[in-house]
Amino acid sequence: MPNASDELAASRPAQGSYEDGRKLLGVRSPVNFGPLPVDASRIAAFCAMIEDGNPSYWDAQSSAKQWGRPIAPPGMIQVWTMPLPWTPTGAAELDFMLLKLPLPGSSLINVSTEIVYHRPVYVGETLNFWDEATEISEQKETRLGVGHFVTTVAHFQNESGEPVATVTNIQFRFEPKAVP
């Protein structure tokens, strides 16, 4: 059975110095393509999880009447470009600046996420995104450990290039304090 240290290693972001990380500020990641279109079954699972009975997400006819086409919850925007851990052609992995930015610290945790939605996310469209790091703080110490706050901006669009959302994320890249 995989243990915590195995998974810690598997999910470890790129390692490097603060100066290494700063060299990649403003560099665009490759485009990450969603593997499958936005679909009703995952919307239903998400809404069941948070017990959201909004008819825009459960009733395709009502949703289409209001929005032109059935829509997905806006909170799911990042979901549609997540890769599966196995496919017949190999494991797909996200290739984005947040994880490939070389910095000290083996772990990361989300601090804030600001999303501007340019329009609803429609069922049936396939999303993609690219991101860039725009800011890296100097070293900070928090109750979780010592590390850097990293700001990235991700641009989500559909397969026709229509802008859907802009996501500004701040994460803390850190080395966890030893658990007593």
Partner 1 sequence: MQAPRQLYWEDIEAGHEIPQIVLSITYEKAVMVPMATWDLFPGHSNPHYAQAQGQKTIYLNTTVLQGFADRVLTDWTGHMTFIARRKLVMMNSVYAGDRLIGRGRVERVHRTGSGAGAIDVAITLSTDAWVACEVSTTAILPMRQA
Sign of CA dihedral 82, 117, 50, 44: negative
Binders in 26-45 for partner 1, by CB under 8 A: 42, 45
By CB under 8 A, name the one of 14, 64, 95, 107 that touches partner 1. Answer: 107
Q: Rounded distance, CA 130 to CA 48, Å?
A: 30
46 is a site residue for partner 1 (CB under 8 A): yes
161 is a contact residue toward partner 1 (CB under 8 A): no
Q: Which is nearer to partner 1, 27 or 144 (CB)?
A: 144
How many secondary structure helices (H) and strands (E) does the chain include? Answer: 6, 8
Min. distance of Cβ 81 from partner 1 in angstroms? 9
Name the CA radius of gyration of the chain, rounded: 18
| CA-wise closest residue to 129 among 76, 169, 80, 84 | 80
126 binds partner 1 (CB under 8 A): no
Number of residues that bind partner 1 (CB under 8 A): 48
Among 56, 128, 151, 158, binds partner 1 (CB under 8 A): 56
14 touches partner 1 by CB under 8 A: no
What would the 3-class secondary structure string for 112-179 be?
EEEEEECCCEECCCCEEEEEEEEEECCCEECCCEEEEEEEEEEEEEECCCCEEEEEEEEEEEEEECCC
Q: Cβ closer to partner 1: 50 or 161?
A: 50
Which residue, 58 or 130, has its beta carbon nearer to partner 1?
58
- Measured in whole angstroms, how far is the alpha carbon of residue 146 from the centre of its chain? 23
- 179 belongs to the binding site for partner 1 (CB under 8 A): yes
Q: Does 177 bind partner 1 (CB under 8 A)?
A: yes
User: Do the beta carbons of residue 74 and residue 47 sit within 8 Å?
Assistant: no
| Residue ranges in contact with partner 1 by CB under 8 A | 3-5, 7-8, 10-11, 42, 45-52, 54-56, 62, 66, 73-76, 78-79, 82-85, 107, 109-117, 120, 143-145, 176-177, 179
